[in-house]
Structures are given as structure tokens and as C-alpha cells.
Amino acid sequence: GKGLFATRNIHKGETIFLEKPVVSSQFLWNALYRYKACDHCLRALETAEENAQRLLGKSRRVLPHPEQCSIRKDLHQHCPHCQVAYCSTECRQSAFEQYHQVLCLGPSREDPKHPLNKLQEAW
């Protein structure tokens, strides 16, 4: 059969495979639940604990092992025109160069008559 087989010992935590997707997108219901993720690479922009607290409406909810979920909020960037969020300057620039300059809604983000908003509503 087909598969990935190791030809040497692999250490715990070692990266053994990297791949960039051809296309990636968040589910639209993520926006409904205000899930915070990079608009380019989909990396979380909030910790699991922050996510649970927001979804449960309980600001004192504590999850075990918070050290397993670190977020670098100091690196987060936003599109200056439409305010979509990115995890880093690199993601913001890559998104702009690859597609965001065409898809950026700018001030039309709240306009229900804009064609991109109509498409999102239809989905």
C-alpha cells in the first residue's frame, strides 16, 4: 500500500512533513461564532481557553495545560482597508499579493448589496 514510512528514528516534536494548501478557507459559520483565525493560514488568533470562554460566555473558565496553546498577539496584523486579521506581517503580505487585493471589501464590508457579500450570503 501507499503511505509514509520512516527510514530513521523521529524525535518527539520533530517536523517531518510540510505542505502548503492550494486553497484554504474558514467555514462561514466560524464568522458567526466569531472564531478568531488568520485569514490566510487559518492559525488561531486566540488561545483555546479564550475561545472556550467566549463560546461558553464564562470568562472564568480555565482549561488545563495553557502552555500548549501559545499565541503571539504582538505579531497580529490587520488589513488597513477591511480589518481582516492575520497572524503576522508575512501572512498579511502573502494574502495581499496572492488574492486579498482583489477580494478586499474595504468600506463595503457592511454593504449587503456588494457582490462578494451576496455570494457569501448565498453560501
Map grid coordinates 495581499 to a residue: 96
What tens digit of pLDDT does each residue of 85-123 get? Answer: 999 999 999 999 998 988 898 888 788 888 888 887 787
Q: Where does residue 52 rank: exposed (0-12), middle (13-18), buried (19+ CB within 10 A)? A: middle
What tens digit of pLDDT does each residue of 46-81 get? Answer: 998 888 888 888 778 788 887 788 899 999 999 999
